[in-house]
Structure 1
Amino acid sequence: MFRGLSAFPLTPTSEQGIDEAAYAALVARLAAAGGDSIGALGSTGGYAYLTREQRARAAQIAVGAADGVPVIVGIGALRTAHVLELAEDAQKAGVSGVLLAPMTYQLLTEDEVFGLYEDVTRELSVPLCVYDNPGTTHVQFTDELHGRIAQLPNVGSIKIPGVPDDPREAQLRVDALRTLIPDTVTIGVSGDWTAARGLNAGCDAWYSVIGGTFPQTALALTRAAQAGHADQAAELSEGLEPLWALFRRHGSLRVISAAASHLGLTQEPNLPRPLRGLDETARQEVVAALDALGLTS
């Protein structure tokens, strides 16, 4: 499950709630594309902005629409007690795994981060992916902390931020982490514009934003890397630079929100307040990039 392409869809949300029909259709579309797993309620899925009830319902919808494809659901929250409630809801929905980021308001110590995963994994009956995303959580994982957490029961994967630009440095980064974790724990890369480098450097999975809206595009890159065609994977990624540039400039969530709307996959608004979609100028940049890349059909 924690290998290959894990596609992370948008959760179309307005102040009236989740657009359940659009969300189910997005998940079903991913299942039909042939990806390896679906990452519901990740950062692209806006989990932090949803109530417990909305998240439980989204987990149910995702599992129901996934047609047997493994569903990994985000359970991050500020308090451990709330994480445990979300884990229970996700497991009742029938998820195959959970994804946990250490959300913060007060800066957490390493022992507090470890304690969160210790408390949660003790109660799980499904595997967990550690979500290392300092850009949103402001938690800086050391490799040693990853090594401690990876020894806990039910830890199945680590989702790391983007790897270094230089292929050799990327290889060293992945290898260094690999020496500290059990063979049973996979390493997955995020930060879509570094995915090819991460996969070519030995990452087992790509936890993908673009895969949640353009699964075939992400699959082509993933399968090339898995087959050992490093140059092809790198070339496919370089071809997507117009989109990667927009991700870096505006944030991947807002770009995917605009793309999904343009393709008719969701209505607008599809982001929960206070988040807002791109302005018209930026939206036209997204449309132009999609047209140039042949991603509008």
Structure 2
Amino acid sequence: MNKLKTVKHALAAAAFMVCSLQNVYAMGTQPPADSEATYTKTKYPIVLVHGVLGFDSLLGMDYFYGIPAELQRSGAQVYVAQVSPADSYEKRGEQLLEQVQRIVAMTGAQKVNLIGHSMGSPTSRYVASVRPDLVASVTSVGGVNKGSKVADALRGVLPAGSVAESVAVAAGGAFASLIRLFSTGSSLSQDELATLNSLTTAGTLAFNSRHPQAVPTTACGEGAYQVNGIHYFSWSGAQPYTNPLDVGDPLLAATGLVFGAEPNDGLVSSCSSNLGQVIRNNYRFNHLDETNMFFGLGNILETSPVTLFRQHANRLRNLGV
């Protein structure tokens, strides 16, 4: 336990140094001091939605590391949703819908602003599709909006009904259980096979045929900025390896090879991440950097992800949502 605490303290110290450098680099993007108290004060609550194998806190590391507190500090009302770490878009969407309904009832707000990372994007899009009256905006961050070639590659080497598929599903379940053991996340049931099938290009395109709102009709373009009164946005990264101190970077660098020369964040291509108004799809982030996940250890030469979430909350505020 002492060794674990030492490692956590060392990582936290390294993260502090990285974040300090990022803040210096991003000073030009900070809001004026006189607007600080209400800079992120949106009309409707912000709901952050995690991706596959999501959690709220794992050994002291938050999925959206430092983001909720920073948004709240300057006026936002923020909730972090907990849906199944592994299941289909629709199942996760139904779980999210229940939480949105509770938030609306609890706060008296008419709607919410959904910000979904990775698989959290189609999860959020589902809620906006079936209950547009409860959603003011949907924002995709590194979202799997047209599928992932990593999922396609896995599906290719794991034929349906094969022994390899059964072994992989069992391994995935064991890994998810390990995450649960060391985290304070959701205890909801999970379906690893449904997750894989959803994340493939074919699975996502089938989902999009049922819930097409704001999905680009061109290969790498933008989608409708507004559908059924709901504003749609997206941003993502395009650099799988960004920081040698981040233990997740080597894995993302390896999975990023599946995309060849196509820009990607290690799990999702830049073009696949596009939804509605594309703020930018080539930040120097990988898939984990996009939510500041690994104690904020990201690219010190790029704007802090926390700053991007703050800027976006201000964008929503200025839209009146």
Q: TM-score, normalised by structure 1?
A: 0.34
Higher relative contact order (CA 8 A, sep 6+): 2
Q: TM-score, normalised by structure 2?
A: 0.32
Greater helix share, 1 or 2? Answer: 1
